[in-house]
Amino acid sequence: MTRVLVVEDDRQLVRALKINLQARRFEVEEASDGGSALRIAAARRPDVILLDLGLPDMDGVEVIRAVRGWSRTPILVLSARHTSEEKIRALDAGADDYVTKPFSMDELLARLRAATRRQEAPTGSAAAPEVTLITTDEFSVDLVARKVRRGERAVRLTPTEWHLLEILLTHPGRLITQRRLLLEVWGPTYAEHTNYLRVYMAQLRRKLEADPSHPRYLITEPGMGYRFEP
């Protein structure tokens, strides 16, 4: 059973979340402020945290930073009327994803499932990635051999295109901020050069998407970043 810690001060929303999550066999813990969220997270070690950014006692981003000091538990941000800047701050602080209120329960559950799946199959430099071959209806990517194919045809990528694609593919379903992509691929001097991303993402889509102007896999989150939707 997946244990979810719901950190939210809106009692009505907590009630609705609880009913829906318990109906889908999640075990639910609640915290109505940041202080108790940190205490409960440390004591109960939930599998995933649903976190409202607007809490009565502290900024939700501070909760993310504190949790990330000792835990990689997936954090899904619930954000209401927050600017994309605040969502980006949350993602850069270590949140895994966000849903914007009002959200549908289906959307929330899909994001929850994606976040917990990633946790079960961790990737990163320390551990060898569990998934080395990514196959979609349109293309397949061998992350170890560094080969991309569309049907019978090999697709050639430049080193920069490959680097971008690799980051997105190894975080399926997850929104990666523009800043993070720029820092990882081009370095700190280029952290604001979002036009680079637009150019290179357009190139990747031309090479990998059936309809590059309506991408199915390499999705833009306007003003925020990009996401590989498997």
Residues that bind Ca ion (CB under 5 A): 9, 52, 54
Nearer to Ca ion, 57 or 142 (CB): 57
Nearer to Ca ion, 52 or 97 (CB): 52
Nearer to Ca ion, 9 or 29 (CB): 9
Q: Cβ 54 to Ca ion, closest distance in Å?
A: 4
Nearer to Ca ion, 99 or 202 (CB): 99
Q: Across the strands, what pairs with 76? A: 50, 97
Nearer to Ca ion, 52 or 209 (CB): 52
Exposure letters 93-128 (e unless 16+ CB within 10 A, then b):
bebbbbbeeeeeeeebeebbebbbebeeeebeeeee
Q: Cβ 78 to Ca ion, closest distance in Å?
A: 8
Nearer to Ca ion, 18 or 179 (CB): 18
Q: Cβ 174 to Ca ion, closest distance in Å?
A: 24
Contacts of 178 (CB under 8 A, 6+ apart): 194, 197, 224, 225, 226
Shortest-Cβ-distance residue relative to Ca ion: 54
**Cα–chain center distance at 224:** 12
* Alpha-carbon separation of residue 82 from 49, 52, 96, 98, 100 (angstroms): 19, 11, 17, 11, 9
Contacts of 217 (CB under 8 A, 6+ apart): 136, 138, 139, 208, 209, 228, 229, 230
Q: Cβ 13 to Ca ion, closest distance in Å?
A: 8
Q: Cβ 125 to Ca ion, closest distance in Å?
A: 36
**Cα–chain center distance at 56:** 25
Helix or strand run (H / E) with residue 219: strand 218-221
Q: Cβ 60 to Ca ion, closest distance in Å?
A: 8
